Structure 1
């Protein structure tokens, strides 16, 4: 049984002009100890789909799913009290912007101890010792001194480490990292990624890494989902995805990597991700796809079998001969 099981997840937001579908029929299955990446451009629904699983979307969001379960428990029908026993303890999340996620009015030590107080049966002395231990785990120097610092007194990389410490404080079974290296310099990015993958290997927790950086995916993940305009358009093992992408969008993303460029000018994907009022009738990628024809523009594409990377495409690329024969 999968640790996190999501089937046919959709999220609609109410707007002044109607509703906007931010996540459209997404499936995701993550096993215990797995390291799964979700990639795609801004606006592809990566963060929203995970916030839906965490129950952290605002009241303007309408969430529907055939299955939305953690460790066999249906997350759709949980009471607020029951959800609080899971979220922050067994399921935890590192948010994209630490400076907007940490409370500027309280010290980082108070905030991490508050998470421990809510979920673990520890007295004040034990919470203090655990906070120091966590800061040491994430590489924060002089941890006892840093506990009394406010977020604005720490650097961006240090605040990101504080967020990671808070997220792993209760030894979660699933950790969702939402673009944990955004706005950090390259050296700190590498340190944060090494920290996350090291913790994942050491504790055996499942890790979902949300990113738009294909280089990060290649170095860290075992399996990757590619999202576009709220839909999952492909899912493969990392090595297979980089060697044989099946969806034209995935192929275009990989072609834009500097290390794969064969000419002086990097190839680009023309156009933009469709919004609320310009979504095509057929394939959502068709206005930007060089392979698209009338069928692509008017008929929603099917989801191909696993042998073709679950590609949501009428004309998948790099189809294996055995799959073609089927």
Structure 2
């Protein structure tokens, strides 16, 4: 049984200019002990889709899904009280912006202890000892003193590590890491990624890694889902995706990596992700795709079979011999 299973998830927001579709028919599945990476440009719906799973979107968001289950439990029909017992304990999230996610009115130690108080049976002394252990795990020096610091008294990197400590405090079964190393320098990035993958191997938790860094994906993930403009456009095992991308967007992302550059100037993807008022009728990537024709611009593309990376494309790249496109 999948640890997390989401089918046909859509998220919309009502704006002054109309209905904004932030997530459009996305499927997500994670097995126990698996590392899934979700990649794509800003505005592709990566964070919003996971916040929908966590139940942390504002009431103005319209969320629909054919299935949204965690360990066989239906998150859609679950009461708010039952959901609160799961979120923060069995499902936890490392947020992208620690300075806006941590409460500025309380010390970081108090905020971690509150999570432990809500979700564990530890007494006050046990909660304090666990906080020190967590700070040591994420590489925060002098943890006894730093537990008494407010978020504004710590650097961005320190706040990020405190956020990671809070997320793993209750030993979650599923950890969603939204750009967990954004504010950290390279050496600390490696340390944090080693920590997360080590915890994943030790505890068997599932890990969803949202990132822009394809190098991080190559080093840590097992499976990759590529999102564009709210849609999942491809999903493959890491090695296969890097070797044989099937969607033109995935191929363009990989071609822009410095280590793959064959010319002095890095290739780029022209244009921008479509917004509310310039959403194409057909393939959402068609205005930026060098392979697009009239069919691409007017007809929504089908999802190809798994052998073709579930690519959402009329003309997928590198189709294996003997495979028929949808």
Shift of residue 183, structure 1, vs aligned partner: 3.2
Query: Partner of 1:322: helix, strand, or coil?
Result: coil
Tell me the equivalent position of 1:201: 201
Asked whether the 8 Å contact 2:18–2:276 carries over to 1, the reply is no
Asked whether the 8 Å contact 2:113–2:128 carries over to 1, the reply is yes
1:60 aligns with 2:82: no
More deviation, 48-57/189-198: 189-198
The CA distance in 2 between the partners of 1:108 and 1:218, in whole Å, is 32
Give the 3 Å change call, closer, same or farther, for CA 325–135 of structure 1 in structure 2.
closer
Tell me the equivalent position of 1:285: 285
Q: What is the Cα-based RMSD across aligned positions, in Å?
A: 1.2
Asked whether the 8 Å contact 2:235–2:309 carries over to 1, the reply is yes
The CA distance in 2 between the partners of 1:310 and 1:302, in whole Å, is 9
More deviation, 162-171/44-53: 162-171
Tell me the equivalent position of 2:191: 191
Deviation readout 1:17-44 (Å, 9 max, x if unpaired) = 2211000000011000100000000000
Tell me the equivalent position of 2:127: 127
Deviation readout 1:172-221 (Å, 9 max, x if unpaired) = 00000001122333232222222222221222111000011111111110
Which structure 2 residues correspond to residues 1-326 of structure 1 after superposition, within 5 A? Answer: 1-324=1-324
The CA distance in 2 between the partners of 1:13 and 1:325, in whole Å, is 34
Shift of residue 322, structure 1, vs aligned partner: 2.9
The CA distance in 2 between the partners of 1:322 and 1:91, in whole Å, is 41
More deviation, 103-112/228-237: 103-112
Asked whether the 8 Å contact 2:304–2:325 carries over to 1, the reply is no
Aligned length: 326
Shift of residue 61, structure 1, vs aligned partner: 0.3
Deviation readout 1:44-83 (Å, 9 max, x if unpaired) = 0000000000000001100000000111111111111111
The CA distance in 1 between the partners of 2:139 and 2:206, in whole Å, is 21
The CA distance in 1 between the partners of 2:325 and 2:256, in whole Å, is 31
Shift of residue 325, structure 1, vs aligned partner: 8.9
Structure 2-normalised TM-score? 0.98
Deviation readout 1:272-309 (Å, 9 max, x if unpaired) = 10000111110000000000001101110000000000
Give the 3 Å change call, closer, same or farther, for CA 311–325 of structure 1 in structure 2.
closer
Shift of residue 98, structure 1, vs aligned partner: 0.9
The CA distance in 1 between the partners of 2:110 and 2:140, in whole Å, is 16
Structure 1-normalised TM-score? 0.98
More deviation, 159-168/280-289: 159-168
Which segments of 5 or more consecutive residues in structure 1 lack a partner in the other structure?
none
Deviation readout 1:211-258 (Å, 9 max, x if unpaired) = 111111111100000000000000000000000000000000000000
Query: Partner of 2:20: helix, strand, or coil?
Result: strand
Asked whether the 8 Å contact 2:305–2:325 carries over to 1, the reply is no
The CA distance in 2 between the partners of 1:248 and 1:118, in whole Å, is 46
More deviation, 195-204/57-66: 195-204
Query: Partner of 1:321: helix, strand, or coil?
Result: coil
